[in-house]
Amino acid sequence: MCIINQTPEIHFHQTTTLTPEQFVAGLTDFGPGRSKLFGNSADEYLKVHHLDPSQADVTEGSVGIWERLYDDWSDLNRVVLTTTDSNVWARESGHTYTFTRHPNVTNDINVIVIREGNEAGNVARAGSELDLLVPNNAQKSS
């Protein structure tokens, strides 16, 4: 489900059999081939500026759109990606992933994306970046 509010917030909800640890492992794998999970994260745009066990400073993008994000996954139930620089998005932009574990082996992933365009950006391209939000292989539960 996707809900777009009047404010520049986009909300997503997905039920999956992936654990939060598995999802975060994919989200924070900044190696070659990232585009296999995130279609709009081309290897030639990917630059890891800093990486430690629970945080990263990474630039990624594709097709002329790039974004530098500070990623914090120190709490595996809530991962926050904060835009620090972009040719399209203002610093008020970012992503927050929250996870709810269920005893029946499924988990809910809720994503809030804040998208505030900057003066130089073309926010009409916002839809093209949605592949960055949820990995291509996130499994839905039955």
Residue 117 confidence (pLDDT): 81
Residue 113 confidence (pLDDT): 93
- HSE at residue 46, side-chain half, CA atoms within 13 A, is 16
Residue 29 confidence (pLDDT): 95
pLDDT tens-digit profile, the chain (142 residues)? 555 555 588 999 999 999 999 999 999 999 988 999 888 899 999 999 999 999 999 999 999 999 999 999 999 999 999 999 999 998 889 999 999 999 999 999 999 999 888 765 544 444 444 444 455 555 444 4
Query: What's 85-110 look like in SS3?
Result: EECCECCCCEEEEEEEECCCCCEEEE
E strands, the chain, are 2-4, 9-16, 47-52, 55-62, 65-75, 78-86, 94-101, 107-114
Residue 40 confidence (pLDDT): 86
- Residue 30: partners with Cβ closer than 8 Å, 6 or more residues away: 46, 48, 51, 56, 58, 60
- What are the structure tokens assigned to 72, written together? 């914090």
Which domains are delineated in the chain?
2-132 (3.30.530.20)
Residue 128 confidence (pLDDT): 45
- What are the structure tokens assigned to 47, written together? 């630059």
